[in-house]
Chain A
């Protein structure tokens, strides 16, 4: 039997939405207050969904302790309490939550073994969230 397991995590970080490819006026028009020069922060909620066969011996899709340990080491400690604009992956890319969601998907997809990564969902606030499924169709 194939099941999907989702786990939610939290981290806080700051960012500023600003593109060097645009004029100051265009940045302001595009990003509004997210373009304020000194940046601002969010409490992000990260939701990771993996899928796979339920192991008959353990009753699990994957060991939660492994997923928690991986996410802590590779994602939460990397982005938590950081200014996203200062990180090398955002040196030439705007740290929108769309782009951050894709980065996190790529980390988990590349490095976490044994299960299929279905989706990374990232809540920037309670009111807006973003999902990336690696190009596949999202599953309702």
Chain B
């Protein structure tokens, strides 16, 4: 089994706000991430797939296909977007780094050919990142 990781960067804005909580509660739970007009990050995405090395090609996965799927499913949808308003999954779900990792996983997992998705890692900053392995 070999693991292959492909990185991609996207920039987006978001706000943390739960309409079921009072303004005071939102402020207390989310702090400055609750500032009403949002704020942004340069996100770094790492997608790790695993598989056996194909004897003919020597590849674990067709990197070109992986790159295309990442672009189509994730970057085209999220890069230079306001996540809360422009990404359907976040209309009713807070776009925390945890939820972004889960959404990226769900968007990729059925689209990859001949490779198994192992991990989605999303860096919100260089000092904060989330890993999702598809665990319930």
Contacts and interface: CB of A to CB of B under 8 A. Distances in A.
Interface of A: 1-9, 49, 54, 57-61, 63-65, 140
Interface in B114-132: 119, 126-132
A22 B17 CA distance: 59
B136 A1 contact: yes
Contacts of B97: 5
Please report whether the interface of chain A is mostly helix, strand, loop or mixed according to DSSP: mixed
A67 B71 CA distance: 33
A134 B31 CA distance: 32
A65 B128 CA distance: 12
B125 to A, nearest CB: 9
Nearest to B120: A3
A59 B130 contact: no
Contact of A57 (B18, B119, B128): B18
B16 interface: yes
Contacts of A65: 31
Given A58-B94, A59-B93, A4 B131 contact: yes
A90 B89 CA distance: 50
A1 to B, nearest CB: 5
Interface residues of B, number: 28
A8 B135 contact: no
A58 B96 contact: yes
B102 interface: yes
Contacts of B126: 8
Interface string B16-44: 10101100000001110000000000000
B123 to A, nearest CB: 9
B101 interface: yes
* Closest CB pairs A-B (n = 10): A59-B96, A59-B94, A4-B131, A8-B127, A2-B135, A3-B98, A54-B98, A59-B99, A3-B132, A6-B129
Most A CB atoms within 10 A — which of B3, B95, B128?
A: B128
Given A8-B128, A58-B16, A58-B18, 6 more contacts: A6-B130, A7-B127, A8-B126, A54-B99, A58-B94, A61-B130
B96 to A, nearest CB: 4
A2 B101 contact: no
Contacts of B98: 3, 5, 54, 59-61
